[in-house]
Structure 1
Amino acid sequence: MGGICGIVQDSQCGRIDPKLLSPMVVQMHKTHQCSSSVDSWGAMCLGVCHTPTFLAGTAVIRVHGETVGLGLYGNIYNLKELGANDRTTDPFDCLLHLYLHDGMSLLSRLRGDFIIVVWDGREQTFCLATDRFRVHSLLYSQQGPHFVFASCMQALRACPLPLEWTINPEAIIDMTCNSVVPTPKSIFREVQKIPPGHVLRYQRGQVTLERYWDMNYLISDLSPQDILVEKLHAGFQDAVNCRLGDERYGNYIGSFLSGGIDSSTITGILAQNGSWPIKSFSIGFDVPGYNEINYARMAAQAFKVEHYEYFVSPADTYDAIPLLLESFDEPFGNASAVPTYFCAKLAKEHGVDILFAGDGGDELFAGNERYATQRVFDYYQKIPSWFREYVLQPTVFSLANYLKVGLFHKGKKYIERANIPYPLRLSSWGLLEVIPMTDIFNDDLVKDLDHQYNPYEILYDHYRRALAEHELDRQLYVDLKVAIGDNDILKVTRMGQAAGVNVRFPFLDSRLAEFAATVPASLKMRGLKLRTFFKQAYAPLLPQAIQGKVKHGFGLPIPVWLRTDQRLNQVMRDAVLGPELAQRGFFQKKMLEYFVDQHQSDQTSFFGTVLWNIMMLELWMRRYSQS
């Protein structure tokens, strides 16, 4: 993998020895072939690892006797618009001169997925920024006079300075409940993540974080729907085109193709765009309810693309576990990383270096089933309050308590959920809504927590912060920050890197996202029908069966395989019920046994997902302890 890393220290401590960066740089490019460079500017050192399909490098200038340097890793898609011609102007020099003119306001002019580093010797200030959706991870740790940063945890931990690394107890609970450790936290107390659309400033030992961009749903575009459709077509086409870049990539471009709306739309647009054959790649499973390969075949046939498939097996999943532990900075529980990796690997084997992915479409245009679920609960609140409180609820609850099972029991559950106000209802499906925290985790772990800690508070914070009036837009905002920002982007980019593929996300184009925010919520979703505006806009492109299918994606049947596959079941039991995890003192042993027993007897995915999270947590801890 490529990436960026560096060390900054208080100016009174003098210059940093560039050799300190060597082990950090080695960690960034040990997996794939790439070159690297190290620059020393005043009180900082910067290491950049270069890969063929990323823009990576530095530029430096002297201003009034002081050094001003800029480093970049990623992709900037509007360089020509900014005045950089690929053949005559160095893009890093172009960006540096933009900084000299605009300061960090230059970020508002950039279009792409990137990490930018600036050292300004005039003010002894260091700045570190992510793109608007943080396609590339960015971690940092400030300890004593040193500020250390890197685009991956392995590089950060390779820093030879005497730094502390202690496990964050909140991260243990976050991972168990949510499959990820949400921004800004990390698995280590001393390490934080820079959020999407933020710039960090470090000056004289002080760190400040500033948000330079966010989604704004308060301004609605009230144009007629046909005009909005034209704007969507133009914006999406532009988002794809700018990510295609020069045609020199030609035969090296492909697409993830699940057979869903997003991946099918991207594949169709790529097929229409190119004068070269587009390759598409799909994953299947020999498990009923999980295999959607027929929809992918349908899309590939409709768009006349060169199509390839791979069926992921339990053996593949077992064999991929070490790669998952190596690829992610911290414990990561999204099991769909497995099919994502095998899809990217399949693409690499067929000569593809750049893969287009459909992540973000559901969160921009309201395609997730949970939005319809929440609306069903919202409908209950539209019933007159007197009828709800004095007639409907007492009657349903009374009959449910008498009959115990059946329609009235489901009705009681529905009313209970519908009575939970926003934003608390967003987590009403969560593990801790079913079982109390103190029943799952050991007292020693819980007592170390902040008394206000709640693993779902991150959802509530984003919900309250959203610049939106409509409930749907607030839910979309939460998912862009958590489901996309902390989960899906990381999953897809890291699995692409593991396979040697650069993944690009047209839906996460800032201009397209800003347009999507202006589309009225009433158009995005009508009644309980998801993605109505987007589906209508692309109805002429997409096969009818794909327009009407239920969303699925690249989901892995891990709850089934943990129950039925002997090796996966054994590695799960060894991790969850073994002595190593017990000695760590994280969990109540009886509750872990309960999870395993329930999973064996329960045909739903609930406990299987929890067990996979705990298994990946423990396996990561073993690897961390060994290193």
Structure 2
Amino acid sequence: MDGIFGWLGDHGAHQDLIRHMGRAACLSPEGLLQQHSSQVLGVAACSRFGKADIHVENGLAAALHGRPRFLDDELAQIARDQNPAMAVAYGWLRFGEKLPTLMHGNFAFAVIEPLKKKACLALDRVGAERLCYAQRGGHLVFGSSVQNVAAHPAVGRSIDPQAIYDYLYFHTLPAPRSLYQGVRKLLPGQIVTLKNGTLSSGFYWQADYAAVDADFDSHRRDFRAILDQAVRDADAPVTAAFLSGGTDSSTVVGALTAARQAPVDTFSIGFDAAGFDEMEYARCAAERYDSRRHEYYLKPADIVTAIPVIAREYDEPFGNASAVPTYFCAQAAREAGFERMLAGDGGDEIFGGNVRYAKQRLFETYARLPALLRHGMIEPLTLLPGLSSRFPLAKLKSYVDQAKVGLPLRLESYNFLHRTPLEQIFATDFIDAVDPSAPGAALSEAYERTASDHYINRMMHLDLKFTLADNDLRKVGTMTEAAGIEVRYPLLDDRLVAFANHLPVDYKVRGQKLRWFFKEALRDLLPEQIINKTKHGFGLPFGVWSTQYAPLGELVGDSLADFKQRGWIRPAYLDHMLAMQRGPHASYYGVMIWLTMMLEQWLQANEH
């Protein structure tokens, strides 16, 4: 993998430490490792894809990972004529903490001034890249990977029990928490500064949801122009595109085809399992744009192949099972000779495409009913003896119970860890070591931080952080890189994100219609079949296949048997999950089994 890492603080054996930190994060041996160290600092960059660099001059060190676009003309010229890391160094001297506001695109950077004992870390607006840090024993340590930072002797690898709980709750480890105690991760749009030994953090950018007053045609013209430019800027030689058959990937392929005025190579994944395959939609889009179609049908054996890859490539436990098809799709592109791919991630989170946005409108309506009607008539109905458990009152009771839970916690009503008492799932010592309310507090913090009072905008802001930055971008970015592919996200171009944020709320979700403006503005580009399709996703039939394919089932059984020794989840509950998965609940329990299996596989692959 590519990345940057380093430290500020007195430490001997600098070269040995740089090599140690680099090996800890499995930095690509094919990448060029650039490094610089002195008595009080070290910086290094490994760049297989040419997107990481360092610059050291006059006592200042800058490390950059990503492909930023500098808005200042002088810095843009330095980046173009010299290198982007030099532009970061010069930009810091000129603009100080204002520098990241003058950068667009994907980036993470660190600037260190050892003589002044100052440092600055910053991450791009959507969290396409990643940056971690720790302050320990007079050292500030940073790195693209949690493993970089934890490998520094001042930090160490002490697993945080709360991180294990958060992983099982979210299926990933959302920033700022990391797997290790004392190691933190920057949030999208965040800047962290060190001055006089004190760390402080804030946001140099926050999503602005103030609606711009314009008619549909004006918005549509602006949207199409920005989309066209974003796709053109993301395109490069030897680039292909993901094509799932969803609205976003189809939009990217259609816009790229129009920009090139030539067919595009597209890569799609299919599943030979009822309810999971969407290849017909991918083919529909490919036919519309006359794409050069590449298809691969995933098999159960592929999951067995992918599991050790996932365990090795992620710097923390990662439980999104769709990492498997992502990896094989990217691998197919690499084998076909491609070096880059465009992905459609982000459209749902900025244009209002997630089903829960429309669903929550129904619950929010209940809160606006007169209190007398809610408390005096509806809620008593749900408590009628002998009737409240029967249809339709049972349905009404479920609706009322959920409506009474405020956002964003209501979104987690069906979370696996809310469906069963924690005492039945976890060992007592583990429960005593964690705060089960911490995930809810993290969700509420991001939800309340939104620069809008409207619940739709607040849910979208929440998803930008938890669904996109913490999950989907980690999934796609890590798996494409593991396959030898660099990925770019044209729908997350800063100009497009800003445009979408400024749309009126009912342009995003109109009644029960998701992405109303997006679909209306692209009716001439997207096939009607895709505009009207039901949202599906890039799922994986793991729960079913693990009961049908013996090698996969054996891997599951062995992993959970080993996991029992960790003492976190009760062995009886692990056995219960396996038994339930073999019955009619294969998909439901398969999710938790996958999470647990991947946690054990990751721990085995990364225990040092």
* 2:345 is the counterpart of 1:359: yes
* 2:180 is the counterpart of 1:195: no
1:293-442 paired onto structure 2 within 5 Å: 293-398=279-384, 401-402=386-387, 404-442=389-427
2:271 corresponds to which residue? 285
1:57 corresponds to which residue? 53
Q: Does the aligned pair in 2 maintain the 1:365–1:516 contact within 8 Å?
A: yes
Could you tell me the percent identity over the aligned residues?
35
Q: Does the aligned pair in 2 maintain the 1:176–1:613 contact within 8 Å?
A: yes
1:623 corresponds to which residue? 605
2:37 corresponds to which residue? 40
The CA RMSD measured in Å over matched residues stands at 2.2
2:109 corresponds to which residue? 116
Per the alignment, do residues 204 and 312 of structure 1 end up closer, same or farther by CA in structure 2, a change over 3 Å counting?
same
Q: Does the aligned pair in 1 maintain the 2:161–2:434 contact within 8 Å?
A: yes
Residue 396 of structure 1 and its aligned partner are, at CA, apart by 4.5
2:558 to 548, 558, 574: 574
* 2:86 is the counterpart of 1:102: no
1:263 to 246, 249, 260: 249
Provide the rounded CA distance (Å) in 2 between the counterparts of 1:227 and 1:489: 31
Which amino acid counterpart does residue 6 of structure 1 have in structure 2? G
Residue 621 of structure 1 and its aligned partner are, at CA, apart by 2.2
TM-score by length of structure 2 reads: 0.94
Provide the rounded CA distance (Å) in 1 between the counterparts of 2:173 and 2:252: 30
Q: Does the aligned pair in 2 maintain the 1:174–1:180 contact within 8 Å?
A: yes
Q: Does the aligned pair in 1 maintain the 2:408–2:459 contact within 8 Å?
A: no
Encode CA deviations 1:304-332: one digit per residue, 9 max, x unaligned: 12110111111101111100100111111
Encode CA deviations 1:28-53: one digit per residue, 9 max, x unaligned: 5654521111013662110111224x
1:167 to 159, 162, 185: 159
TM-score by length of structure 1 reads: 0.92
Per the alignment, do residues 18 and 546 of structure 1 end up closer, same or farther by CA in structure 2, a change over 3 Å counting?
same
1:517 corresponds to which residue? 501
Q: Does the aligned pair in 1 maintain the 2:4–2:53 contact within 8 Å?
A: no
Residue 383 of structure 1 and its aligned partner are, at CA, apart by 4.1
Per the alignment, do residues 142 and 121 of structure 1 end up closer, same or farther by CA in structure 2, a change over 3 Å counting?
closer
Which amino acid counterpart does residue 617 of structure 1 have in structure 2? L
Q: Does the aligned pair in 2 maintain the 1:8–1:148 contact within 8 Å?
A: yes
Decide which moves more: 161-170 or 504-513: 161-170
Residue 142 of structure 1 and its aligned partner are, at CA, apart by 2.4
Q: Does the aligned pair in 2 maintain the 1:2–1:28 contact within 8 Å?
A: no
1:437-476 paired onto structure 2 within 5 Å: 437-450=422-435, 453-476=437-460
Per the alignment, do residues 414 and 473 of structure 1 end up closer, same or farther by CA in structure 2, a change over 3 Å counting?
same
1:614 to 571, 596, 603: 596
Provide the rounded CA distance (Å) in 1 between the counterparts of 2:378 and 2:97: 57
Encode CA deviations 1:75-100: one digit per residue, 9 max, x unaligned: 02347954417764444433332222
Per the alignment, do residues 620 and 338 of structure 1 end up closer, same or farther by CA in structure 2, a change over 3 Å counting?
same
Q: Which runs of 5+ in 1 are unaligned?
A: none
Which amino acid counterpart does residue 473 of structure 2 have in structure 1? I
Q: Does the aligned pair in 2 maintain the 1:77–1:242 contact within 8 Å?
A: no
Residue 129 of structure 1 and its aligned partner are, at CA, apart by 1.5
Q: Does the aligned pair in 1 maintain the 2:131–2:143 contact within 8 Å?
A: yes
Which amino acid counterpart does residue 5 of structure 1 have in structure 2? F
Per the alignment, do residues 44 and 534 of structure 1 end up closer, same or farther by CA in structure 2, a change over 3 Å counting?
same
2:492 to 508, 533, 538: 508
Q: Does the aligned pair in 1 maintain the 2:79–2:85 contact within 8 Å?
A: no
Residue 377 of structure 1 and its aligned partner are, at CA, apart by 2.0
Q: Does the aligned pair in 2 maintain the 1:79–1:85 contact within 8 Å?
A: no
Q: Does the aligned pair in 2 maintain the 1:42–1:121 contact within 8 Å?
A: no
Q: Does the aligned pair in 1 maintain the 2:165–2:434 contact within 8 Å?
A: no
**Counterpart secondary structure, 2:384:** helix
1:588-603 paired onto structure 2 within 5 Å: 588-603=570-585
1:3 corresponds to which residue? 3
Total equivalences in the alignment:
607
Q: Does the aligned pair in 2 maintain the 1:139–1:192 contact within 8 Å?
A: yes
Q: Does the aligned pair in 1 maintain the 2:176–2:187 contact within 8 Å?
A: yes
**Counterpart secondary structure, 1:189:** coil
